[in-house]
Structures are given as structure tokens and as C-alpha cells.
Structure 1
Amino acid sequence: MGDATGQDMLLTEHLEEQTQRVRAQREVLGALGVEGRIALLAQVAQRWMDPSDPFRVQAIRALPGECFLAEEQVAWGLDQAFAGVDAATLRAWWDREGGSGSASLSAHLWSGNVFVAGLPPVVASLLAGVPAFIKAPSRQPTFASLLVDSVAAVAADLGASLGQAAWPRSDAGATDRLMSAADVVFAFGADESIAALQVLAPPDLRFCGFGHRYSIAVVLGDTADQVADGRSLESSFGSLEGLARDLLVWDGQGCLTPRWIFVEGDLGRAQSLAAGAAEFLPELVTRFPGQRLGPQEGAVRSSWLASAAFAGWSRAGDHWAVAAVPWSEALPPAPPPRCLCFAAIPDLALLPSILAPLGRRLQGVARLGTVARDQELAELCAPLGLSRLAKAGALQQPPVDWNHDDVRILASLCAG
């Protein structure tokens, strides 16, 4: 099993040799056939779902220190990432987007906010029979290292088709060498990082960039009253606690973390929901704690909460905060991480105009309420870039074959 401390990271000057070795496995991967690759990938996922699996155990031991997450958060993230990597899902994905292509190596440039975010393109690459090489963040090398070792433990041929190394973002030379060796690149990071990588990319490279995106939550009017009255909801509606988990699970990071919670109705409805959330948040944050705020971050949080209280209502505790703000034609100021901001909105039809200043960057919507209004929400938010609509509590559980950021992941690997 690989050393998770990062001391065995590949020297970047040996990168060309390493990528050539991985690329050479193209024919071996092809010989496995689609069904063979599906079966092996499903076995890898099953291992990661097993609480006693040594790779999972080591990840849960090491990743909290690297990613500033609790063990329960790491375990939850692993479960959600691998739960959908099953034979039926992979086969359906292949049937929709698969095919023979010319790619011989894919490069995967991971970022450091959500450690499993880059997994689906790696799965897609091996599914397509394309060897893959992961560039992990220099401060978070463990998951990539353990993933490669776990694949090799299931099947040596499949494992030899997956490589990894970690180096700092500042080493543009190593990144340039990796992209030059690849036919397809999947890059995650801030917009500035993605733009800089595109400058480095050779003109014939298929470059798939995943930059800054944001998500929101919507509480439908009738549901807001039911929650405020303490009435139970149908399971398909989602839950207020699930909505809070969507926001807390990655410590406020990631493109699927809701930034604002729009409540269909007036300030009274929004405040009732915020007060309800304040009742269970102290217990929920013991399961999904966050990093301690520094002095400057703490001052920003205090100022935001004071402004929210002046306009509406707010409460806060250790690692959590809630606020309710009245309707405004302008988008409310972005709340600090781990703050649930319930913003009243008289008509959901106003969402596109409120969010328009953010451009076409809306990733997901968590819906608390009846599924019967999903079509309405999808049509309202499609021009804003929406790629995922889910009930509250399920937004942070996208399937492995989720296409987003205008990228068809598997199809990008199978293009001619």
C-alpha cells in the first residue's frame, strides 16, 4: 500500500517516464473489454464501501488531517463517491456516451476543496479504456495514492493503467509536461487556475475545465409552513436537516454547497425556518464540524450576522449560524461559510433576475418541497447553467455519471 505521507511522491523530472509507462497500458485496457472493465471498477468501489477495507481505513485515518475534515465527513464523502460506481450505472453510462476513440492518456488535475470531486472523470477514463494519470494537490496526496493502489489490488492490469503524482500548483513546468503527454485533460480549480492551464494547453488537447460554480436551495411555500409547524414531510420532499447537511458536509466548500436558501414567501416564513434550523444545528455540527475561523474571518462573520439581524433575524453558535433576511431586488450579500441564509422571495419567477449578475454559473438547486414543481424550477434555472436539481439532503450526492460545467465526461474520452 502506498505511503500516504507524500514522501514517496514521484519526482516531477521523472514524469515523462511515468506517463509513458501508464500510456503503454492502452492495449491491455482494451483487451479487458467493456464488460471486464465495468466488473473491475465495480469491485474497486465495493472495496471502498467496506468499512474494514485497509485502503478505506487508511484514508479515514489520514484524510482528516489533510483535508481539515472530521472522520465522519471523510467516511460520508467516500460513501457518496463510490456508492454509484456499480455495474448497472456504468453500463448505462457507456450505452449513452461510450464508443471507440483515439485518446491514449487522460490527465486529471485535482483541486483541494472536495477530495472526491475528481473521481468521476478517472472512473470514466478507465471505463473508456483510456489510461489515466492524476496530479494531486501537494498538500493532499493521500486519496490519489490510495486510489491507485486499491485499483492495482483488484486487478494488476487495471492498476497499471492508472498513475498519480503530487506537486505544488506553482510547478507549472511539471503540469505542462503532464498536459503535453495527454490527449484529454480534466482540470478542477478556481477560474484563474483554469484560465492559466488553458494557456499552457497544446492546441490539439481536449481540455475540460471545471471552475467556480455555486448552488442554492429553494423552500417551496406550502412546505415552509409545514416545517415551521413541525409537521412531517414526505420523503421525496427532502428535509430541513438534510438541507443543512448539504451546506455543512464539505465545510462550506465545493460547487454543490448551497450559498443562499430562497424561501417562497415573506420574512416571517424565512425566520420560522431559520429558527427551526437553529434548534438542531448544535448537534449536527458535532458530526460535521468546520475549521476554526481566524480573527479576520471571524470579524467578517460577525459583521455579516449583525447586518442580517438588523434587516431580519440571526443566531449563531460554535461552527454554525443562521439568518433570515427580507425580500430585496438585489442578491443578498454572500454569507460566510457554514451560515444558513434564508432569504424571502415573493415569487420564484424572480430567481433568474436576482441571480443574473453571477452569470451562467449555477451548478445545483436543493429543493425542499414537492417534486411536482421540479419542472418549473428546472425551466427557471436552466438559463443560469443548472446541471443538478435534487431534494434537500441529496444535492451533495451526485451520481458518478453526472455531466456538469457543460462537459460530457465519458463522451469527451470517446471522441475521435
Structure 2
Amino acid sequence: MTDHARIHRLAEAVRCFLTPGDAYREQLCAETEAMSADTMAAGLDASLANWDETGIAALCSEEALYMQDGVKPELAAVVLGGVLPPSHIQAIAYPYLLGAEVIVKHSSADPLFPNLLANALGDGVTVMGRLGFGGVLSRADAVVAVGDDDSILAIQREVAVATPFLGFGHRTAIDLVCGSILARSPSVAAEVAKDISLFDQLGCLSPREVLVIGTPEDAAILAQGIAEHMEDLLPRRILNISIEAAIRGTREVARAMGRVVLGPEDLQWGITVEEEGQWTGTPGGRQVIVRSLSKLGHIPDALAPIQGHLSAVGVAGGDLDPATQRSLIRLGASRIVPVGTLQAAPPTWPHDGRRPLASLCRWCGLG
């Protein structure tokens, strides 16, 4: 199959999940256990719009500059964790676009989507569970893994040191609102609420904290604006008992400490307002902290607890100054984009700061 044919086939497969009424999209939305059908549909629409033929071709064109004389993999193993279609598409697409035979071990939490995607592609991708996957890692000449950090490290221990390996572990995102005027803007509040609610906050591009460069009053006003949009959301699925208990526990602690806490008693969503201090995050489930910082220069200290785990930053306030950009990149950010677009990562995204196709190739010095 030619490079162009692979690009076209992948774009057509992704389009199935964007097209209302398509059998693949309808089955995914109806049968997913991680979230409601409407939440899945909204997440697909927001996250996959850039995965068309033009966007995928741009990835291949950009990566070609870094792959000159590189040897592409012939057999790639992909180990999936989590339940979000965008991360699974990325993990499968990278070796697929290089022409490799792709063998996928589906997540125990989601065998559905990888199988649907493989069927939509037609051939080139085989999906299986734990049974049957034994030995694939040792035979593969490239490996992609998605999961929590412990899972990634465990998989990497089964792979030869010289084998190209892309591991995408635990990450989180933030929204950054710069200034009093923007903190008090209804449109900014709406975009932040969108970032928080898409995919029920399950992915690495979902913010668990919103940093407001301004006063505590600015943060409180933004929190109220976000709450007005969260109230309009359809109910989320109940998470496992430990997460729901953690949500209730953190809310009760915040109230005991005198924090402003917004949200219904059924825990469908929640907002806690904090002043200065360091990132603590939330257990998820549409729960977020809105934290005021008096200066941009306080960001590195505020985010120190997630050093190396920051995935992306949504910004309200235009382009950040170079020093702030560099500090965010050193913290791990590989996407700095306008608020409301965190989930819309294009194929060209250097996921976790790496070249997604070139990183799976090998080079050899000759002569």
C-alpha cells in the first residue's frame, strides 16, 4: 500500500466516527461503558475534526524531514490503556502510517473502540486481548504504549533496550486565564467549561486546575461563570467507588477549610476556588480547582507537583511571553493553545514532546 493510500484509508476510518448515523459511530456511542452516548459523541466531534486527509498528510510531510534514511518498522506492537478514542487513534496511527503491520492489545476497560477502528481500516491492524499477545513485544521492531506510568514502565521492561519505544503515560492539563478582564468574560468561562467537561475529564488533555493570573475575586467570578455552564451539562456516568469517595472527601475538606465550593450535592460537577499555593488537582469526574496567582512568575512553583506530567495548556489572553512558554515546556507541556481547544489535538501534535513517526524508526551509520 502506498503512503497516500494509507493516509486516505486512515482519514476515511476516522471519518466514520465523525459522521452522524454511521454504523461505527452509532455502535461506539451506544455501547461505550465509560460515558454517556451524548458525551462520547461531543468528544469525538471536538477531538477528531483535524484528523482528515489534509491533517494526516501534514503529519507525514512534517515527519519526513526527520526520517531521511531512517529504517521504518515492519512489525509494531501497540499496547492500549484507558478509554479515549483519540489517544487510541494516535497510538495505532503512528506505526500504521509508517507501513508497519500493527498488532494491538486492547485496554481491559475498552475492547470496543480498537476493534471498531481496525474494522474501519479494513486491514493492516490486528486487535487482541491479553491472550494471544504473548511474544509480540519481543518480536516487534517498534512499540507504542498508552497507560499509567507504572504500566508503561512494566511494558518497557519487556522490550529490548534498542527497540524504538513510544510510551504515553499519566499526564494532565491546565487552563490559564491571564487578567481580570478575561476572568470576568462569559465567553472565556464557556470555553473553560468545555475543556473541563469533554470526555468527562478522563483524558490527559482535560484540565484539573484553572490558573487565573489576577485576584482571588477574579478567580471567584470565573468559577461562577464556569458553574453556570456546568449546570447545563447532561449527567455523567458514575465512576468507581474509590473515585466518587475521593470527590466527596476533597469537597468536604475544602469546605472545612473555608474554601468557596460550587456544585450539586450529587457530585456531577464541582469547582473549588483556591488562592496561590501549589497544584493539587482533583479526582476527576468534572471536578476542577480555580486557583488565583498574582503573577505569571508564580506558575513554575504552582505547577511544581506535576513537573514532567503537564501535557497541555489552554490559554486565554493571547500569546504568552517566551519565558513563560519555556517554563511550561520544561514542565512537560507539548501543546499551548487557546482555551476551549485543548482536546482538538491535530495529527501533527508532537505528543509528549516527541516526533511521533520518526521516533519509531532506526538509523545506521555506514562506511
* TM-score normalised per structure 1: 0.79
Distance 2:179 2:103 in 1: 48
Residue ranges of structure 2 left out of the alignment (5+ in a row): none
Distance 2:3 2:247 in 1: 51
Q: Against the structure 1 CA distance between its residues 400 and 189, is the aligned structure 2 distance closer, same or farther, given a 3 Å change threshold? A: same
Q: Against the structure 1 CA distance between its residues 276 and 185, is the aligned structure 2 distance closer, same or farther, given a 3 Å change threshold? A: same
Displacement of 1:272:
1.2
Q: Against the structure 1 CA distance between its residues 188 and 293, is the aligned structure 2 distance closer, same or farther, given a 3 Å change threshold? A: closer
Conserved 8 A contact 2:263-2:271: yes
Distance 2:296 2:346 in 1: 27
* TM-score normalised per structure 2: 0.89
Q: Which residue of 1 aligns with 2:181?
A: 223
Q: Which residue of 2 aligns with 1:143?
A: 113
Displacement of 1:175:
4.7
Residue ranges of structure 1 left out of the alignment (5+ in a row): 1-31, 153-158, 234-238
Work out which of the residue numbers 18, 23, 35 in structure 2 matches 1:49: 18
1:166 aligns with 2:124: no
Work out which of the residue numbers 234, 243, 247 in structure 1 matches 2:196: 247
Conserved 8 A contact 1:267-1:312: no
Matches within 5 A, 1:8-407: 32-63=1-32, 65=33, 68-98=34-64, 99=67, 101-152=71-122, 159=123, 161-167=124-130, 175-227=133-185, 230=186, 233=187, 239-284=188-233, 286=234, 289-291=236-238, 294=241, 297-309=243-255, 310-317=257-264, 318=266, 319-328=268-277, 331-337=278-284, 338-367=286-315, 369-373=316-320, 375=322, 377-407=324-354
Amino acid at match of 1:412: S
Displacement of 1:58:
1.6
Query: Could you give the per-residue CA deviations for residues 118-146 of structure 1, whole angstroms, max 9, x where no partner exists?
Result: 21132232222122111102342111111
Amino acid at match of 1:360: G
DSSP 3-state at the match of 1:372: coil
Amino acid at match of 1:85: W
DSSP 3-state at the match of 1:116: helix
DSSP 3-state at the match of 1:212: coil
Flag as ranges the 4+ runs of structure 1 deviating above 6 A: none
Conserved 8 A contact 1:214-1:255: yes
Higher helix share goes to which structure?
1
Query: Could you give the per-residue CA deviations for residues 251-298 of structure 1, whole angstroms, max 9, x where no partner exists?
Result: 2322111121111112111111112222231212x1x6242563x544
Conserved 8 A contact 2:28-2:113: yes
Conserved 8 A contact 1:224-1:263: no
What is the count of residue pairs matched by the alignment? 355
Q: Against the structure 1 CA distance between its residues 79 and 280, is the aligned structure 2 distance closer, same or farther, given a 3 Å change threshold? A: closer
Distance 1:299 1:75 in 2: 28
Q: Against the structure 1 CA distance between its residues 35 and 299, is the aligned structure 2 distance closer, same or farther, given a 3 Å change threshold? A: closer
Distance 2:63 2:239 in 1: 43
Q: Against the structure 1 CA distance between its residues 403 and 308, is the aligned structure 2 distance closer, same or farther, given a 3 Å change threshold? A: same
Q: Against the structure 1 CA distance between its residues 222 and 411, is the aligned structure 2 distance closer, same or farther, given a 3 Å change threshold? A: same
Seq. identity, % = 27
Distance 2:90 2:243 in 1: 33
Distance 1:336 1:248 in 2: 14
